[in-house]
Structure 1
Amino acid sequence: MAYPSQLGFQNAASPIMEELLHFHDHALMVAVLISSLVLYTLITTISTKLTHTTTTDAQMVEMVWTVLPALTLIMIALPSLRILYLMDEITTPHLTIKAIGHQWYWSYEYTDYKTLLFDSYMTPATDLLPGHYRLLDVDNRIVLPMNSPIRTLVTAEDVLHSWAVPPLGVKTDAVPGRLNQTTFMTLTPGVYYGQCSEICGANHSFMPIVIESVPLKHFENWSTSLTI
Protein backbone atom coordinates (compact mmCIF):
# COMPACT_ATOMS: atom_id res chain seq x y z
CA MET A 1 0.00 0.00 0.00
CA ALA A 2 1.26 3.49 -0.84
CA TYR A 3 1.89 5.95 1.98
CA PRO A 4 1.76 9.79 2.11
CA SER A 5 4.57 11.63 0.27
CA GLN A 6 5.82 8.40 -1.29
CA LEU A 7 8.01 8.99 -4.36
CA GLY A 8 8.86 5.45 -5.44
CA PHE A 9 6.89 2.34 -6.25
CA GLN A 10 4.86 0.33 -3.79
CA ASN A 11 6.59 -2.60 -2.13
CA ALA A 12 6.70 -5.68 -4.33
CA ALA A 13 4.32 -8.49 -3.40
CA SER A 14 5.16 -10.87 -6.26
CA PRO A 15 8.33 -12.18 -7.96
CA ILE A 16 7.50 -10.33 -11.19
CA MET A 17 7.14 -7.00 -9.39
CA GLU A 18 10.51 -7.57 -7.70
CA GLU A 19 12.08 -8.07 -11.13
CA LEU A 20 10.36 -4.93 -12.44
CA LEU A 21 11.70 -2.87 -9.54
CA HIS A 22 15.25 -4.15 -10.16
CA PHE A 23 14.94 -3.32 -13.86
CA HIS A 24 13.62 0.15 -13.05
CA ASP A 25 16.65 0.84 -10.83
CA HIS A 26 18.97 -0.54 -13.53
CA ALA A 27 17.45 1.60 -16.30
CA LEU A 28 17.39 4.68 -14.06
CA MET A 29 21.09 4.30 -13.29
CA VAL A 30 21.87 3.98 -17.00
CA ALA A 31 19.83 7.14 -17.71
CA VAL A 32 21.68 9.05 -14.97
CA LEU A 33 25.08 7.97 -16.37
CA ILE A 34 24.07 8.98 -19.90
CA SER A 35 22.79 12.36 -18.74
CA SER A 36 25.96 12.99 -16.72
CA LEU A 37 28.21 12.04 -19.65
CA VAL A 38 26.29 14.23 -22.10
CA LEU A 39 26.34 17.17 -19.67
CA TYR A 40 30.08 16.73 -19.06
CA THR A 41 30.74 16.58 -22.81
CA LEU A 42 28.72 19.73 -23.46
CA ILE A 43 30.47 21.68 -20.71
CA THR A 44 33.89 20.46 -21.82
CA THR A 45 33.16 21.28 -25.46
CA ILE A 46 32.14 24.82 -24.57
CA SER A 47 35.03 25.53 -22.20
CA THR A 48 37.99 23.85 -24.00
CA LYS A 49 39.50 23.41 -27.44
CA LEU A 50 37.44 20.29 -28.16
CA THR A 51 35.54 22.31 -30.75
CA HIS A 52 38.60 22.21 -32.99
CA THR A 53 37.85 20.66 -36.38
CA THR A 54 40.43 17.89 -36.04
CA THR A 55 38.75 16.74 -32.83
CA THR A 56 35.05 16.95 -33.66
CA ASP A 57 35.56 15.32 -37.06
CA ALA A 58 37.81 12.55 -35.80
CA GLN A 59 36.86 9.02 -36.83
CA MET A 60 37.54 7.66 -33.35
CA VAL A 61 35.05 10.08 -31.82
CA GLU A 62 32.41 9.05 -34.33
CA MET A 63 33.01 5.38 -33.55
CA VAL A 64 32.68 6.02 -29.81
CA TRP A 65 29.40 7.89 -30.05
CA THR A 66 28.03 5.16 -32.34
CA VAL A 67 29.17 2.11 -30.39
CA LEU A 68 28.41 3.45 -26.89
CA PRO A 69 24.67 4.03 -27.52
CA ALA A 70 24.40 0.59 -29.12
CA LEU A 71 25.98 -1.08 -26.07
CA THR A 72 23.73 0.97 -23.80
CA LEU A 73 20.62 -0.19 -25.65
CA ILE A 74 21.77 -3.80 -25.31
CA MET A 75 22.28 -3.31 -21.55
CA ILE A 76 18.67 -2.14 -21.29
CA ALA A 77 17.09 -4.52 -23.82
CA LEU A 78 18.40 -7.82 -22.46
CA PRO A 79 16.97 -7.47 -18.91
CA SER A 80 13.75 -6.10 -20.38
CA LEU A 81 13.30 -9.08 -22.69
CA ARG A 82 14.05 -11.46 -19.84
CA ILE A 83 11.27 -9.96 -17.71
CA LEU A 84 8.92 -9.93 -20.69
CA TYR A 85 9.35 -13.66 -21.20
CA LEU A 86 8.98 -14.30 -17.46
CA MET A 87 5.66 -12.43 -17.48
CA ASP A 88 4.42 -14.45 -20.47
CA GLU A 89 5.61 -17.77 -19.08
CA ILE A 90 2.68 -20.16 -18.87
CA THR A 91 2.98 -22.17 -15.68
CA THR A 92 0.60 -24.77 -14.34
CA PRO A 93 -1.76 -22.59 -12.29
CA HIS A 94 -3.12 -23.77 -8.98
CA LEU A 95 -6.18 -21.59 -9.45
CA THR A 96 -7.85 -19.73 -12.30
CA ILE A 97 -10.12 -16.73 -11.85
CA LYS A 98 -11.99 -14.74 -14.47
CA ALA A 99 -12.29 -10.97 -14.07
CA ILE A 100 -15.07 -9.29 -16.03
CA GLY A 101 -15.21 -5.50 -16.28
CA HIS A 102 -18.55 -3.66 -16.23
CA GLN A 103 -19.53 -0.01 -16.01
CA TRP A 104 -18.47 0.44 -13.24
CA TYR A 105 -17.63 -2.63 -11.19
CA TRP A 106 -15.89 -5.99 -11.53
CA SER A 107 -17.31 -9.51 -11.55
CA TYR A 108 -15.23 -12.53 -10.60
CA GLU A 109 -15.60 -16.21 -11.33
CA TYR A 110 -13.46 -18.93 -9.77
CA THR A 111 -13.49 -21.32 -12.72
CA ASP A 112 -12.37 -24.27 -10.56
CA TYR A 113 -15.49 -23.78 -8.39
CA LYS A 114 -18.69 -23.78 -10.42
CA THR A 115 -20.72 -21.83 -7.86
CA LEU A 116 -18.06 -19.41 -6.66
CA LEU A 117 -18.78 -16.12 -8.42
CA PHE A 118 -19.65 -12.63 -7.22
CA ASP A 119 -19.70 -8.93 -8.10
CA SER A 120 -17.28 -6.51 -6.48
CA TYR A 121 -18.47 -2.93 -5.96
CA MET A 122 -16.63 -0.06 -4.36
CA THR A 123 -17.57 0.40 -0.71
CA PRO A 124 -19.46 3.70 -0.20
CA ALA A 125 -17.80 6.15 2.15
CA THR A 126 -20.71 5.83 4.57
CA ASP A 127 -20.14 2.06 4.92
CA LEU A 128 -16.39 2.09 5.42
CA LEU A 129 -15.08 0.22 8.45
CA PRO A 130 -12.11 1.36 10.56
CA GLY A 131 -8.88 0.66 8.69
CA HIS A 132 -10.53 0.56 5.26
CA TYR A 133 -9.55 2.98 2.51
CA ARG A 134 -11.90 5.42 0.82
CA LEU A 135 -12.35 4.78 -2.93
CA LEU A 136 -10.17 1.67 -2.71
CA ASP A 137 -12.08 -0.91 -0.67
CA VAL A 138 -14.81 -3.15 -2.05
CA ASP A 139 -17.71 -5.12 -0.63
CA ASN A 140 -16.36 -8.48 -1.94
CA ARG A 141 -12.60 -9.00 -2.04
CA ILE A 142 -10.75 -11.52 -4.19
CA VAL A 143 -9.39 -14.09 -1.77
CA LEU A 144 -6.38 -16.03 -3.08
CA PRO A 145 -3.91 -18.51 -1.58
CA MET A 146 -0.38 -17.19 -1.15
CA ASN A 147 2.64 -18.85 -2.79
CA SER A 148 0.37 -20.34 -5.46
CA PRO A 149 0.53 -19.53 -9.21
CA ILE A 150 -2.71 -17.76 -10.12
CA ARG A 151 -3.98 -17.40 -13.67
CA THR A 152 -6.36 -14.52 -14.33
CA LEU A 153 -8.52 -14.33 -17.44
CA VAL A 154 -9.56 -10.74 -18.06
CA THR A 155 -12.39 -9.55 -20.28
CA ALA A 156 -15.11 -6.88 -20.37
CA GLU A 157 -18.84 -6.88 -21.01
CA ASP A 158 -19.37 -3.36 -22.34
CA VAL A 159 -16.34 -1.09 -22.97
CA LEU A 160 -12.56 -1.24 -22.51
CA HIS A 161 -11.33 -1.63 -18.94
CA SER A 162 -7.94 -2.43 -17.42
CA TRP A 163 -7.34 -4.80 -14.50
CA ALA A 164 -4.30 -3.41 -12.68
CA VAL A 165 -2.77 -4.23 -9.28
CA PRO A 166 0.56 -2.34 -8.90
CA PRO A 167 2.03 -4.33 -5.94
CA LEU A 168 1.74 -7.51 -8.02
CA GLY A 169 3.09 -6.01 -11.23
CA VAL A 170 -0.15 -6.85 -13.04
CA LYS A 171 -1.89 -4.68 -15.63
CA THR A 172 -4.05 -6.33 -18.28
CA ASP A 173 -6.57 -4.76 -20.64
CA ALA A 174 -10.15 -5.99 -20.47
CA VAL A 175 -11.52 -6.04 -24.02
CA PRO A 176 -15.14 -6.99 -24.88
CA GLY A 177 -15.26 -10.29 -26.77
CA ARG A 178 -11.66 -11.15 -25.98
CA LEU A 179 -9.90 -13.05 -23.17
CA ASN A 180 -6.55 -11.72 -22.03
CA GLN A 181 -4.43 -13.74 -19.63
CA THR A 182 -2.00 -12.84 -16.90
CA THR A 183 -0.31 -14.88 -14.17
CA PHE A 184 1.07 -13.88 -10.79
CA MET A 185 1.88 -15.25 -7.37
CA THR A 186 1.72 -13.45 -4.03
CA LEU A 187 4.70 -13.94 -1.74
CA THR A 188 3.25 -12.79 1.57
CA PRO A 189 -0.20 -12.59 3.18
CA GLY A 190 -1.82 -9.19 2.97
CA VAL A 191 -4.31 -6.98 1.18
CA TYR A 192 -3.32 -5.48 -2.17
CA TYR A 193 -5.19 -2.69 -3.92
CA GLY A 194 -5.60 -1.76 -7.55
CA GLN A 195 -7.94 0.17 -9.83
CA CYS A 196 -9.20 0.23 -13.38
CA SER A 197 -6.45 1.92 -15.40
CA GLU A 198 -8.51 2.61 -18.51
CA ILE A 199 -10.65 5.70 -19.03
CA CYS A 200 -13.83 3.65 -19.47
CA GLY A 201 -16.38 6.30 -18.56
CA ALA A 202 -17.45 8.81 -15.95
CA ASN A 203 -16.93 6.43 -13.01
CA HIS A 204 -13.83 4.61 -14.20
CA SER A 205 -11.91 5.76 -11.13
CA PHE A 206 -14.49 4.03 -8.91
CA MET A 207 -13.64 0.49 -10.02
CA PRO A 208 -11.22 -0.62 -7.30
CA ILE A 209 -9.65 -4.08 -7.13
CA VAL A 210 -8.82 -5.67 -3.79
CA ILE A 211 -6.88 -8.93 -3.49
CA GLU A 212 -6.60 -10.59 -0.10
CA SER A 213 -3.73 -13.07 0.03
CA VAL A 214 -4.14 -15.71 2.75
CA PRO A 215 -2.56 -19.07 3.67
CA LEU A 216 -3.91 -22.05 1.74
CA LYS A 217 -5.82 -23.43 4.74
CA HIS A 218 -7.70 -20.15 5.22
CA PHE A 219 -8.51 -20.03 1.51
CA GLU A 220 -9.92 -23.55 1.61
CA ASN A 221 -12.12 -22.65 4.58
CA TRP A 222 -13.32 -19.49 2.79
CA SER A 223 -14.08 -21.25 -0.49
CA THR A 224 -15.85 -24.12 1.27
CA SER A 225 -18.07 -21.74 3.22
CA LEU A 226 -19.21 -20.04 -0.01
CA THR A 227 -19.71 -23.13 -2.14
CA ILE A 228 -21.72 -25.16 0.38
Structure 2
Amino acid sequence: MNATAYYRAALRALAHVEHRLPTGRRFGPEADARWSSFRGDLTTADRIDLLLRDADAQWPAAFGARSVFARTAVAEDEAFGPEWTSLDPVEAEELWREITRAPAPTTIHDALHAIATAWEQPLVAFDVGTLGPADRLVVAGPSAVVATLLAFASGTDLDFTDQVMVIATPPAHRQLATLGSALLNSTKPARVLTAAQVEPMRGARVLVSDDAAPADAAKAKEQA
Protein backbone atom coordinates (compact mmCIF):
# COMPACT_ATOMS: atom_id res chain seq x y z
CA MET A 1 0.00 0.00 0.00
CA ASN A 2 1.52 3.29 -1.12
CA ALA A 3 0.05 5.80 1.33
CA THR A 4 2.39 8.58 0.22
CA ALA A 5 1.19 8.34 -3.38
CA TYR A 6 -2.40 8.40 -2.17
CA TYR A 7 -1.84 11.53 -0.09
CA ARG A 8 0.10 13.32 -2.83
CA ALA A 9 -2.59 12.58 -5.41
CA ALA A 10 -5.43 13.61 -3.10
CA LEU A 11 -3.75 16.88 -2.16
CA ARG A 12 -2.98 17.75 -5.78
CA ALA A 13 -6.63 17.18 -6.64
CA LEU A 14 -7.70 19.24 -3.64
CA ALA A 15 -5.41 22.06 -4.75
CA HIS A 16 -7.21 22.03 -8.10
CA VAL A 17 -10.73 22.19 -6.66
CA GLU A 18 -9.62 24.96 -4.27
CA HIS A 19 -8.18 26.87 -7.24
CA ARG A 20 -11.46 26.39 -9.10
CA LEU A 21 -13.56 27.75 -6.25
CA PRO A 22 -11.39 29.30 -3.52
CA THR A 23 -12.66 29.00 0.05
CA GLY A 24 -9.60 30.17 2.00
CA ARG A 25 -10.12 27.22 4.35
CA ARG A 26 -7.61 24.80 2.87
CA PHE A 27 -4.51 26.52 1.52
CA GLY A 28 -2.94 29.94 1.79
CA PRO A 29 -2.28 32.54 4.52
CA GLU A 30 -5.85 32.60 5.85
CA ALA A 31 -5.95 28.82 6.24
CA ASP A 32 -2.47 28.81 7.81
CA ALA A 33 -3.50 31.43 10.36
CA ARG A 34 -6.64 29.51 11.28
CA TRP A 35 -4.62 26.31 11.68
CA SER A 36 -2.01 28.02 13.87
CA SER A 37 -4.72 29.38 16.15
CA PHE A 38 -6.16 26.01 17.15
CA ARG A 39 -3.65 23.30 16.22
CA GLY A 40 -2.39 22.73 19.77
CA ASP A 41 -0.50 19.44 19.74
CA LEU A 42 -1.77 18.45 16.30
CA THR A 43 0.77 17.82 13.54
CA THR A 44 0.80 18.54 9.84
CA ALA A 45 -0.18 14.90 9.33
CA ASP A 46 -3.34 15.64 11.34
CA ARG A 47 -3.97 18.75 9.27
CA ILE A 48 -3.77 16.78 6.05
CA ASP A 49 -6.14 14.10 7.35
CA LEU A 50 -8.62 16.73 8.52
CA LEU A 51 -8.53 18.42 5.12
CA LEU A 52 -9.16 15.17 3.30
CA ARG A 53 -11.96 14.16 5.68
CA ASP A 54 -13.61 17.52 5.04
CA ALA A 55 -13.21 17.15 1.28
CA ASP A 56 -14.52 13.59 1.40
CA ALA A 57 -17.65 14.87 3.12
CA GLN A 58 -18.17 17.55 0.46
CA TRP A 59 -17.50 15.14 -2.42
CA PRO A 60 -18.53 11.75 -1.00
CA ALA A 61 -16.08 8.88 -1.48
CA ALA A 62 -13.76 11.03 -3.60
CA PHE A 63 -10.89 11.88 -1.26
CA GLY A 64 -10.86 9.15 1.39
CA ALA A 65 -8.47 6.24 1.59
CA ARG A 66 -11.44 3.91 2.10
CA SER A 67 -12.44 4.25 -1.55
CA VAL A 68 -8.93 4.20 -2.98
CA PHE A 69 -7.84 1.05 -1.19
CA ALA A 70 -11.28 -0.65 -1.35
CA ARG A 71 -11.52 -0.90 2.44
CA THR A 72 -15.02 -2.36 2.44
CA ALA A 73 -15.11 -2.88 6.21
CA VAL A 74 -14.93 0.89 6.77
CA ALA A 75 -18.23 2.80 7.02
CA GLU A 76 -19.20 4.67 3.85
CA ASP A 77 -19.20 8.03 5.63
CA GLU A 78 -15.70 7.52 7.05
CA ALA A 79 -12.71 8.60 4.97
CA PHE A 80 -10.08 6.43 6.65
CA GLY A 81 -11.31 4.06 9.33
CA PRO A 82 -9.76 3.24 12.71
CA GLU A 83 -6.96 1.05 11.35
CA TRP A 84 -5.57 3.64 8.96
CA THR A 85 -2.01 4.82 9.61
CA SER A 86 -1.44 8.49 8.87
CA LEU A 87 1.75 9.92 7.42
CA ASP A 88 4.85 10.16 9.56
CA PRO A 89 5.02 13.78 10.85
CA VAL A 90 8.32 14.47 9.09
CA GLU A 91 7.06 13.05 5.81
CA ALA A 92 3.84 15.02 6.20
CA GLU A 93 5.78 18.27 6.61
CA GLU A 94 7.81 17.56 3.49
CA LEU A 95 4.72 16.68 1.47
CA TRP A 96 2.84 19.74 2.68
CA ARG A 97 5.67 22.03 1.64
CA GLU A 98 5.80 20.32 -1.75
CA ILE A 99 2.07 20.75 -2.32
CA THR A 100 1.80 24.33 -1.13
CA ARG A 101 4.84 25.51 -3.07
CA ALA A 102 3.76 23.96 -6.37
CA PRO A 103 1.27 25.77 -8.62
CA ALA A 104 -2.17 24.24 -8.35
CA PRO A 105 -3.37 22.30 -11.39
CA THR A 106 -5.61 24.76 -13.20
CA THR A 107 -7.50 22.38 -15.49
CA ILE A 108 -9.07 18.98 -15.02
CA HIS A 109 -6.56 17.64 -17.55
CA ASP A 110 -3.66 18.88 -15.44
CA ALA A 111 -5.26 17.59 -12.24
CA LEU A 112 -5.76 14.10 -13.64
CA HIS A 113 -2.19 13.97 -14.89
CA ALA A 114 -0.96 15.17 -11.48
CA ILE A 115 -2.85 12.30 -9.84
CA ALA A 116 -1.31 9.81 -12.26
CA THR A 117 2.15 11.30 -11.72
CA ALA A 118 1.78 10.91 -7.95
CA TRP A 119 1.43 7.18 -8.53
CA GLU A 120 4.07 7.09 -11.29
CA GLN A 121 1.30 5.83 -13.54
CA PRO A 122 1.96 6.48 -17.26
CA LEU A 123 -1.02 7.46 -19.39
CA VAL A 124 -1.55 6.96 -23.11
CA ALA A 125 -3.97 8.50 -25.57
CA PHE A 126 -7.38 6.79 -25.66
CA ASP A 127 -10.38 7.60 -27.84
CA VAL A 128 -13.76 7.24 -26.14
CA GLY A 129 -15.72 8.23 -29.22
CA THR A 130 -18.91 10.29 -29.11
CA LEU A 131 -20.84 10.20 -25.84
CA GLY A 132 -24.48 11.00 -25.22
CA PRO A 133 -26.69 11.17 -22.13
CA ALA A 134 -28.25 7.78 -22.91
CA ASP A 135 -24.92 5.95 -22.99
CA ARG A 136 -24.03 3.53 -20.23
CA LEU A 137 -20.31 2.84 -19.97
CA VAL A 138 -18.08 0.25 -18.36
CA VAL A 139 -14.54 1.58 -18.17
CA ALA A 140 -11.29 -0.14 -17.20
CA GLY A 141 -7.72 1.09 -17.33
CA PRO A 142 -6.32 4.41 -16.10
CA SER A 143 -5.94 5.87 -19.58
CA ALA A 144 -9.55 5.00 -20.41
CA VAL A 145 -10.70 6.49 -17.10
CA VAL A 146 -8.85 9.75 -17.75
CA ALA A 147 -10.12 10.02 -21.33
CA THR A 148 -13.68 9.34 -20.17
CA LEU A 149 -13.50 11.97 -17.44
CA LEU A 150 -12.16 14.54 -19.90
CA ALA A 151 -14.97 13.72 -22.32
CA PHE A 152 -17.56 14.18 -19.58
CA ALA A 153 -15.93 17.44 -18.51
CA SER A 154 -16.26 18.86 -22.03
CA GLY A 155 -19.67 17.38 -22.82
CA THR A 156 -23.19 18.55 -22.07
CA ASP A 157 -26.06 16.72 -20.36
CA LEU A 158 -23.66 14.00 -19.23
CA ASP A 159 -23.44 12.54 -15.72
CA PHE A 160 -20.32 10.53 -14.94
CA THR A 161 -21.62 9.10 -11.67
CA ASP A 162 -24.89 7.92 -13.25
CA GLN A 163 -23.62 6.73 -16.61
CA VAL A 164 -20.27 5.13 -15.82
CA MET A 165 -19.15 2.07 -13.92
CA VAL A 166 -15.38 1.89 -13.49
CA ILE A 167 -13.73 -1.47 -12.89
CA ALA A 168 -10.49 -0.74 -11.10
CA THR A 169 -8.62 -2.90 -8.63
CA PRO A 170 -5.16 -1.23 -8.30
CA PRO A 171 -5.31 1.81 -5.97
CA ALA A 172 -3.75 4.13 -8.57
CA HIS A 173 -6.48 3.28 -11.06
CA ARG A 174 -9.17 3.63 -8.40
CA GLN A 175 -8.01 7.04 -7.22
CA LEU A 176 -8.17 8.50 -10.72
CA ALA A 177 -11.82 7.47 -10.85
CA THR A 178 -12.83 8.38 -7.30
CA LEU A 179 -11.26 11.83 -7.50
CA GLY A 180 -12.83 12.25 -10.92
CA SER A 181 -16.23 12.89 -9.36
CA ALA A 182 -14.80 15.81 -7.36
CA LEU A 183 -12.96 17.16 -10.39
CA LEU A 184 -16.32 17.17 -12.19
CA ASN A 185 -17.83 18.80 -9.06
CA SER A 186 -20.31 15.98 -8.55
CA THR A 187 -21.62 15.40 -5.04
CA LYS A 188 -22.47 11.81 -5.91
CA PRO A 189 -19.73 9.18 -5.57
CA ALA A 190 -18.30 7.58 -8.67
CA ARG A 191 -19.15 3.91 -9.15
CA VAL A 192 -15.78 2.23 -8.78
CA LEU A 193 -15.63 -1.52 -8.26
CA THR A 194 -12.83 -4.03 -8.05
CA ALA A 195 -12.96 -6.94 -10.47
CA ALA A 196 -14.26 -9.12 -7.63
CA GLN A 197 -17.13 -6.72 -6.85
CA VAL A 198 -18.55 -6.21 -10.33
CA GLU A 199 -22.26 -6.62 -10.88
CA PRO A 200 -23.45 -7.33 -14.43
CA MET A 201 -24.21 -4.27 -16.57
CA ARG A 202 -25.25 -5.85 -19.84
CA GLY A 203 -25.55 -3.77 -22.96
CA ALA A 204 -23.12 -1.11 -21.85
CA ARG A 205 -20.40 0.34 -24.04
CA VAL A 206 -17.12 -1.10 -22.87
CA LEU A 207 -14.00 1.08 -22.87
CA VAL A 208 -10.79 -0.72 -21.94
CA SER A 209 -7.32 0.75 -22.33
CA ASP A 210 -4.21 -1.38 -22.67
CA ASP A 211 -2.99 -0.34 -19.22
CA ALA A 212 -5.93 -1.94 -17.41
CA ALA A 213 -5.13 -4.66 -14.90
CA PRO A 214 -5.76 -8.02 -16.62
CA ALA A 215 -8.57 -9.03 -14.26
CA ASP A 216 -10.24 -5.64 -14.66
CA ALA A 217 -10.02 -5.81 -18.45
CA ALA A 218 -11.45 -9.32 -18.53
CA LYS A 219 -14.34 -8.43 -16.24
CA ALA A 220 -15.13 -5.29 -18.24
CA LYS A 221 -15.25 -7.20 -21.51
CA GLU A 222 -17.77 -9.60 -19.97
CA GLN A 223 -20.22 -6.70 -19.68
CA ALA A 224 -20.48 -6.06 -23.42
Higher strand share: 1
Query: Highest CA radius of gyration, 1 or 2?
Result: 1
Fold similarity call, TM over 0.5: no
Higher relative contact order (CA 8 A, sep 6+): 2
More helix by share: 2
Using structure 2 for the length normalisation, give the TM-score: 0.30
TM-score norm. by structure 1 comes to 0.30
